[in-house]
Amino acid sequence: MSTDQKQEAGLDLTLDDVQDHQPTRETYIEGIEGKLKTVFDPELPIDIYTLGLIYAIKVTEAGDCFVLHTLTSAFCPAADQIPLDIRTAVESVDGIKKCHTRITMTPPWTHETLDPQVRELLFGY
């Protein structure tokens, strides 16, 4: 099964096929993470980075960024918008040429993914 077929089926995807370049990553990761904190799930008043929806970030030597993320549910109404918002945000980091996103539902996101203090604020437990 190809990566595209896995993507369409919502199966376990990784970024194993992407060569992370550590020096380039170190140059851009703080800016990338900062920009990801500006992307919000429209159903929750918190950004996708803090929600724990970002599973992996890789940056190639050429300056391309790959973001592996999940959604709060498989039926998320913003499933089309969130990847676009991620790409737009990350591509606004000076020096990043292109951002590619992959959605995985493995492991599924749960409230337990959140920092306990954030979970308490949002959900009261």
End-to-end CA distance of the chain: 41
Tens-digit pLDDT profile for residues 98-118: 999 999 999 999 888 887 888
pTM of the model: 0.86
The ranges assigned to domains in the chain are: 3-118
Helices (H), the chain: 3-9, 22-36, 48-51, 81-91, 116-123
Provide the CATH number for the domain formed by 3-118 in this structure.
3.30.300.130
* pLDDT tens digit sequence for 61-73: 999 999 999 999 9
Q: Which of 98, 80, 78, 79 is nearest to 88 (CA)?
A: 98
